Chains A and B, each alone.
Chain A
Amino acid sequence: MSMSRREFAQLLGLAGAAGVLPSTGFAATKHSADPYEVANFGNVRLLHMTDCHAQLLPIYFREPNVNLGMGAAQGQAPHLVGDKLLNHFGITPNSLEAHAFSCLQYEEAAAKYGKVGGFAHIKTLVERLRESYGREKTLLLDGGDTWQGSGTSYKTRGMDMVKAANELGVDVMTGHWEFTYHQEEILKNIKAFDGEFLAQNVFITEDALFEGADEYIHDEDTGHVFQPYSIREIGGARIAIIGQAFPRTKIANPARFIPDWTFDIYDDRLQEQVDHIRGSENVDAVIVLSHNGMDVDLAMANRVSGVDVILGGHTHDGIPAPTIVKNNGGKTLVCNVGSNGKFVGVMDLDIREGKVQDFRYRLMPVFSELLAPDAAMAQLITDIREPYLPWLTEALAPADELMFRRGNFNGTFDQVICDALRSVNDAQISLSPGFRWGTTVLKGQMVTMEHVLDQTCLTYPETYVREMKGSELKLILEDVADNLFNPEPYLQSGGDMVRVGGFDYVCDPVETIGKRITEMTLDNGEKIEADKSYKVSGWATVGARSEGADIWDVVAEYLKDRKVASIDKLNTPKLKNVEGNPGIVDYPA
């Protein structure tokens, strides 16, 4: 049973008084009984959230135990997990923040500290952080992946989240999963959004321009579909915010929904944009609101100069302190603020004499039991959910163990999805995408349809069954592994390794493409042969639409039939050459 708000506050107060907490980061604020008491610093406060994946209500979310960094990224943020992460950032083990930032003693701590996130709780925190600082000196920036990830966002085509973001007071956003609706729906949602939707790296295709896309795009001459940047005057400073949408959207997600737009990282254009803004807009600071993923942001901070802060998302890394990257123009702070509404980043900037003089940063975990829900937001959420409640709340099966996804390889919930595909679709092998969204269910909790939707809800949910050669299967695994483990960040696409059911393999992440995956072996011990065909089931195809049932119905059918949410075997690869890599802890194989 989780503790009351009062007990919670007392615990924190005692911990602070005992002097066991470090003096930096989130913990530094806890010398009072109130962990959300933040000292004001400077004259501009940027509040940052990202990748909430439409989680309107509080949820559980376990941080990964495997998040391997390759090459120069090894041992660096964000590729630190468990005690390695705690040591690196000076976080006391077994503390509230140790629970927020790591997977250690997860079940025990989750039972103690309760759920995280929830828009009504985030709203309360954001309001407090704005009021205590001076509302007119604050901005709330949302890095995107806001309109997707729940049953209600699916049913309302993201409009529920536009309403919630408006109620929350989001000033600026960029996107990624936003682009998994149809072009015209995206434009409609943006129109309904009270803030600004920015993207310097989304362009109209020549073909679309010819067909008359000039009717709606931001700038016909530059080809920007969306406004690339915004200038805001706050706290006596002029700051530019540039949007950077997920550059691999048309590769990682279906291109068919957004045929007229094209994406990339575009360092050179970003540099031009920064130089232009610095040269002609008379700004004191330049901020990039990015959905690149943290590895790409770190690389981009190296290559592009003149950016003071990159507020990043996509890779769902909850990183307690910014990484400072030195470049031609000085330095750039790179932040990443986790996912699922679990964190709010607070970047206080001292901006004087035309530049950023200093900063203070805190990544605040949103513990729902510590923050009273905002009444208006709570009402909005109730209204949004009301028409879909019978669907969302259907009880499927009690969880007999911890159900989670996040990590480089299969989580237990992925295994349930893979097992469901094999069982319901009568396949030897199953594949499930390595998304980083998807919430956690504690042992003993009832798994509802909503939990399954948390793991599966996207706009291309159809399943497939088809024959696949062993060689084809290997090609898929190699391709995805390269998107994850290529040491060059610009050649990564984000996401984790494809989840598998019915077979195991050996993975050597430090190898090159074509050589990482070996010894693919069926659960019955038979080696998978290159020329032999296997019956494979999967979902979320990015090319053409598949014909099968929606994945959530497949998983629901399986769970109702099995009567308990549990796994018999975790298909996770045996790893090579990861000894000493601080991106892995408690690995089962």
Chain B
Amino acid sequence: MSINRRTVVKAIATGGALIGASVLMPKIAFAAWSKDAFQAKEQTAAMNALFDSATPEESAEVTLKAPDIAENGAVVPVTVVSTLSGVESMSIFIEGNPSPLAAEFIIPAGTKADVSTRVRMGKSTKVTAVVKANGKLYSAAKEVKVTIGGCGG
């Protein structure tokens, strides 16, 4: 029996899948919460606080999907996917935000390195995805434009 997309979305929202998710969120996730990194006011400082390094290596094995122009700066969809092996975490930085580190996803061993979320962006800026794999840092970045809109032809 096939299960349609809406049913899946509903099942997740109503808690069925959340039980699974909580099992997948061991203490390590909370232990890894880096208050300094999330509160840092500047991207380099945030990266240093999170990784002790702000120089990830650009990699074609990290795919960052984000719109060229945000439809709504309050909820910009961002997806990070990696084909690297041994992915430990995937983080998203919004350079121009007051606190650039928007999210850090801990990827447990054996989990597909594919995360999607929505981030708030106050203005046009660079979005950077950093993937930590086998202790090394890899990245992909993209400029996202936030416009005041109007004046369509």
Contacts and interface: CB of A to CB of B under 8 A. Distances in A.
Interface centre among A212, A251, A315, A541 (most CB of B within 10 A): A251
Contacts of A356: none
A133 B149 CA distance: 44
Judged by DSSP, the binding face of B is loop
A262 B150 contact: no
B68 A251 contact: no
A540 B150 contact: yes
A479 interface: yes
A263 interface: yes
The 3 closest A-B pairs by CB, nearest first: A252-B152, A495-B153, A436-B153
Given A251-B149, A494-B153, A542-B150, A220 B5 contact: yes
Contact of A246 (B70, B124, B145, B152): B152
7 contacts: A251-B69, A251-B152, A252-B151, A315-B153, A435-B152, A495-B153, A498-B151
Interface string B4-32: 11100110010000000000000000000
Contacts of B69: 248, 251, 490-491, 493
A139 interface: no
B67 A483 contact: no
Contact of B153 (A482, A496, A541): A496
Interface string A485-506: 0000011011110100000000
B9 A206 contact: yes
A223 B77 CA distance: 15
Contacts of A495: 151-153
Contacts of A250: 71-72
B152 A209 contact: no
Contacts of B124: 513
Interface string A77-106: 000000000000000000000000000000
Interface in A197-234: 206, 209-210, 212, 214, 220-221, 223
Interface centre among A212, A436, A483 (most CB of B within 10 A): A483
Contacts of A543: 149
A264 interface: yes
A255 B4 contact: no
A436 B153 CA distance: 5
Interface string A167-202: 000000000110000000000000000000000000
A322 interface: no
Interface residues of B, number: 21
Contacts of A69: none
A220 B6 contact: yes
Given A210-B10, A248-B152, A433-B150, 10 more contacts: A210-B13, A214-B6, A246-B152, A252-B149, A255-B72, A264-B67, A264-B68, A475-B148, A483-B151, A498-B150
Nearest to B12: A210
Contacts of A264: 67-68, 71
A480 B6 contact: no
A61 B112 CA distance: 57
Given A251-B71, A264-B67, A482-B147, A209 B153 contact: no
Interface of A: 176-177, 206, 209-210, 212, 214, 220-221, 223, 246, 248-253, 255, 262-265, 293, 314-316, 433-437, 475-476, 479-480, 482-483, 490-491, 493-496, 498, 513, 540-543
A316 B71 contact: no
B71 A262 contact: yes
A437 B153 contact: yes
Contacts of A263: 71
A541 B149 CA distance: 9
B8 to A, nearest CB: 10
B71 A221 contact: no
A259 to B, nearest CB: 10
Contacts of A214: 4-6
Interface in B134-153: 145, 147-153
Nearest to A316: B153
Contacts of B67: 264
Interface centre among B4, B6, B70, B124 (most CB of A within 10 A): B6
A542 B4 contact: no
